[in-house]
Chain A
Amino acid sequence: MSLLTDRRAAPSAPRAWSVLGEPREAHLGYLLVLPAYLFIVGLTIFPILYAVYISLHRLSLTLPGMPFVGLANYVSILTAPSFWQAVAVTTYFVVISLLLQFPLGLAVALVLNEQVRGRAVLRAAILIPWAIAPVINGLLWQWIYNPRYGALNGLLKQLGVLRDDVLWLGEPFRALNMVILADTWKVLPFYVILFLAVLQTVPAELYEAAHIDGAGAWQRFRHVTLPFLRPIILVILVLRTVQTFRVFEIVYVLTGGGPAGGTTVIAFHVYRETFGNLNFGYGAALSFVMAFLTLTLAGAYVLTLRSEELY
């Protein structure tokens, strides 16, 4: 029974909370959700609107005044080579990360879904990188990649793969790939957990039926496993694209955007412009450009994958 029905059933109920003839229950409802509204408006909507406002102004701690500049900050961003370089670096980071992490995460999840010995231990162990703080992860890989006393050069030299030390972070393109690798180690558990959660919901009978019908391993994966994975694939693609687009900590700690700006992703560019150069108006505009790019990508995924039949 709804409150409305309830009220009609008792027309003589006192209306002490009523204002302008409204029923008191509605007001009570507004009153109860008011803190949540205030919270959302105060902590989310207001800052965003205010950021829009200052993105239209020249606001820098090292410049006097705060003149209205219209879309000048946005124009500056879109005409700055440094921004487009950051976009290119970030795009590469996102694409290669997803291409690398997606199949790797799925492969590990498929292995962990099998009845292998020590599965429980493996499942727990795979979570360890995820549990490590991003900054610690960066420091860890800084030591691993150190050209003179790092673990990676040491290992590869002991295995006879290398004769001389390699400067893993000494050349812009190589450094970018090394950062992606370090990030992959950190985020792989995310893929594994989500894939594994879905894989465990696939009924064993379907595999048995496919097996009886003569389906091989690839066909079972293609026609049984994959249809179940499609919804989570969308979720992972959207989440990871957004996350990877905003990658910051690993770059900050590992390379500081170098060498020669080769690992300056957009988020790091925003950070440097805002907190380093103290150009808050420009930084706010950059944040919105970054948000726009991220939302566009996420929207494209949703539109593309939603139109397909999931099962």
Chain B
Amino acid sequence: MQTPQIHTRLSRRAALASPLAVGGLSALVPLLSACAAGQPQQAGQVRLTKATTRTGKLTIVYAPSPVFDELTRRLEQETGWTAEWIGGGYDENHNKITVGLAGGAAFDVVTVDTIWTAEFAKAGFLIPVKDLIPEDTRKDLLPHALMEWSYEDIPYAVPHSNSIMSFYYNDRLLKQAGYDAPPKTWEQVVEMSRTMMDKGIAKFGMAAGWKQLEGLTCYYNNFFRAYKGEWQDRDGRWIFNQGAGLKALQYMVDTLYGSRITDPASVTLGDRDSVNIFINGTVAFMPNWGFAYQFAKTAPDSKIANDIRITLMPGMRETGVVSASTTGGNAAGVTRVSKQHDIAIKAALLFADPAIQKKAIEVARGAFQPSRISLYDDPWVKSTYPEVLEVRKQYEYGFRRPPIPWYYEWSNILQQAVQQALTRAKTPEQALNDAVKLINDRAQLYKK
């Protein structure tokens, strides 16, 4: 099995000390370094460690959830080990994991977003998991599940939740405008939106989270893929400033300033904020993640609880693409520095356990997309949360964001470029040309 190159020169102090020196936290650096219990990272084949005691406590970095009480109980029942959960919010977890593991923190299992996989793998934080997942579990995972957490074709985490963006619409508004079915293409979205706006049925056609955040990359990716975009050419040069990339951004800009179907507030909204607009009942369409459906159904001030529907993300008439959406989700990675890989692997596998995932669906009231195929056939899931099955249809048209180790930097450059066009600080062409130049320059550095 191929294993990633580990950067042996990266000491815990090196990673921890640099950014903090000038800030107030500088005083903590040597203390943290001294206290870190991790082993020096080693190149080559992973040597799996075994727990030396019958009981103990794993350290798991994951966003808090009531589901994990059940997971801890199962872990204790099956191994005698318990778990300490130290996760926080999304961004907080990324920083906690990267700085912690680079500094030798004794994390055993960590949450891995799809876009963190390449970075974590390249940094040597995780052990490959493909051979550690039992055959029956692997067969029951969604076809694309393991690929989402792969870097250079090696899976690095056990899939827990497979998210994908869906397209939501307000059925009442569509019916008022005389539409029996939702739009199938982005061109139709514009046409239907304009009709509803002109008739005074809808204030805006669409609300979206186009704030300068990671979500913006996902929204752009939806349009980009609908235009059959490819990020790089055969030589690995980034080329999204031409063709599909330019058309995608132009489409976004046009919906703001041309057809004016997108609520202009979208450029200041994150994913959750855009749902708050949508539940007011004056906007017809909203692309968003899975959480949006239950939120719109259950929020006390929602005016669309009975009107929200899910459908496939539109495709593009011009290109013939049926649908295109962005994938995401979280998985459990086992750290290379764990001193009890055997227990940590069992804990990671519990994240893919059907009972745990079913509990997650229940706790999230349907706003959880399991990675296990069998749960999509579960009678309780089918009857209680049919939207989970609806979202699954989108997987066939899912696209990853580029699996590169410097994804965060890449995405930041793209987000800024897209926003420059959306706020008319630059033309779409200027913005993308500048972004592509910067990205190609950075890519040269990361090639070394």
User: Which of B18, B30, B422 is in CB contact (< 8 Å) with A43?
Assistant: B30
Q: What is the distance, in angstroms, from B29's C-beta to the closest C-beta of chain A?
A: 4
Residues 279 to 295 of chain A near chain B (Cβ within 8 Å): 280-281, 283-284, 287-288, 290-291
A54-B18 contact in complex given A43-B26, A63-B445, A169-B268, C-beta closer than 8 Å = yes
Stretch from B4-12, B69-77, B224-232 contacting the other chain? B4-12
Contact yes or no, B419 A51, CB < 8 A: no
For this complex, into which size category does the number of interface residues on chain B fall? 35 or more
Chain B residues within an 8 Å CB radius of A283: 18-19
Q: What is the distance, in angstroms, from B427's C-beta to the closest C-beta of chain A?
A: 13
A170-B265 contact in complex given A43-B26, A258-B212, C-beta closer than 8 Å = yes
User: Which of B15, B27, B102 is in CB contact (< 8 Å) with A47?
Assistant: B27
Contact yes or no, B425 A46, CB < 8 A: no
Q: What is the distance, in angstroms, from B247's C-beta to the closest C-beta of chain A?
A: 20
Chain B residues within an 8 Å CB radius of A154: none
Interface membership of B1, Cβ < 8 A? no
Contact yes or no, A43 B27, CB < 8 A: yes
Chain A residues within an 8 Å CB radius of B273: 146
User: Which of B17, B21, B264 is in CB contact (< 8 Å) with A167?
Assistant: B264
Interface membership of B119, Cβ < 8 A? yes
A44-B27 contact in complex given A260-B425, A280-B18, C-beta closer than 8 Å = yes
Interface membership of B78, Cβ < 8 A? no
CB-CB nearest in chain A for B409: A277
Interface membership of B181, Cβ < 8 A? no
Q: What is the distance, in angstroms, from B107's C-beta to the closest C-beta of chain A?
A: 15
Interface membership of B90, Cβ < 8 A? no
User: Which of B21, B98, B416, B425 is in CB contact (< 8 Å) with A51?
Assistant: B21
Q: How far is the CA of A146 from the CA of B211 in the complex (A)?
A: 12
CB-CB nearest in chain B for A292: B22
User: Which of A255, A256, A288 is in CB contact (< 8 Å) with B22?
Assistant: A288
Contact with B along A252-278 (1 / 0, CB 8 A): 000111111110000000111011111
Q: What is the distance, in angstroms, from B436's C-beta to the closest C-beta of chain A?
A: 15
Interface membership of A149, Cβ < 8 A? yes
A260-B276 contact in complex given A48-B21, A278-B98, C-beta closer than 8 Å = no
Chain B residues within an 8 Å CB radius of A63: 7, 445-446, 448
Q: What is the distance, in angstroms, from B7's C-beta to the closest C-beta of chain A?
A: 5
Q: How far is the CA of A49 from the CA of B17 in the complex (A)?
A: 10
Contact yes or no, B119 A274, CB < 8 A: no
Chain A residues within an 8 Å CB radius of B383: none
Q: How far is the CA of A66 from the CA of B9 in the complex (A)?
A: 6
Q: Number of residues in A with C-beta < 8 Å to the partner?
A: 54
Interface membership of A65, Cβ < 8 A? yes
Chain A residues within an 8 Å CB radius of B17: 47, 50-51, 54, 284
Contact yes or no, A261 B5, CB < 8 A: no
Interface membership of A59, Cβ < 8 A? yes
User: Which of A62, A261, A272, A284 is in CB contact (< 8 Å) with B122?
Assistant: A62
Contact yes or no, A61 B102, CB < 8 A: yes
Among A48, A54, A167, A260, residue most surrounded by chain B Cβ atoms (within 10 Å):
A260
Q: What is the distance, in angstroms, from A174's C-beta to the closest C-beta of chain B?
A: 10
User: Which of A44, A62, A172 is in CB contact (< 8 Å) with B405?
Assistant: A62
Contact yes or no, B409 A275, CB < 8 A: no
Residues 174 to 216 of chain B near chain A (Cβ within 8 Å): 211-213
Contact with B along A205-226 (1 / 0, CB 8 A): 0000000000000000000000
Interface membership of A64, Cβ < 8 A? yes
Contact yes or no, B419 A261, CB < 8 A: yes
Contact with B along A163-185 (1 / 0, CB 8 A): 00101111110000000000000
Residues 240 to 295 of chain B near chain A (Cβ within 8 Å): 263-265, 267-268, 273, 276-277, 280
User: Which of A65, A168, A276, A281 is in CB contact (< 8 Å) with B18?
Assistant: A281
Contact yes or no, A259 B9, CB < 8 A: no
Contact yes or no, B15 A280, CB < 8 A: yes
Contact yes or no, B30 A148, CB < 8 A: no
Q: How far is the CA of A258 from the CA of B411 in the complex (A)?
A: 14
Contact yes or no, A277 B22, CB < 8 A: no
Interface membership of B363, Cβ < 8 A? no
A147-B14 contact in complex given A43-B30, A259-B419, C-beta closer than 8 Å = no
Contact yes or no, B14 A280, CB < 8 A: yes
Q: How far is the CA of A271 from the CA of B446 in the complex (A)?
A: 20
Contact yes or no, B265 A165, CB < 8 A: yes
Chain A residues within an 8 Å CB radius of B263: 148
Interface membership of A103, Cβ < 8 A? no
Chain A residues within an 8 Å CB radius of B21: 47-48, 50-52, 284, 287-288
Q: What is the distance, in angstroms, from A280's C-beta to the closest C-beta of chain B?
A: 4
Contact yes or no, A172 B425, CB < 8 A: yes
21 sample A-B contacts, Cβ–Cβ < 8 Å, listed by A number? A43-B29, A43-B31, A47-B17, A50-B18, A54-B18, A63-B7, A146-B268, A146-B273, A147-B265, A147-B268, A148-B263, A148-B280, A259-B212, A259-B422, A272-B412, A277-B412, A278-B98, A278-B123, A278-B408, A280-B14, A287-B22
Interface of B toward A, CB cutoff 8 Å: 5, 7, 9-10, 13-15, 17-23, 26-31, 95, 98-99, 102, 119, 122-123, 211-213, 263-265, 267-268, 273, 276-277, 280, 405-406, 408-409, 412, 415-416, 419-420, 422-423, 425, 445-446, 448
- Given A50-B13, A61-B7, 5 other A-B residues pairs in contact with their CB atoms under 8 A: A42-B30, A59-B18, A63-B448, A65-B7, A257-B212
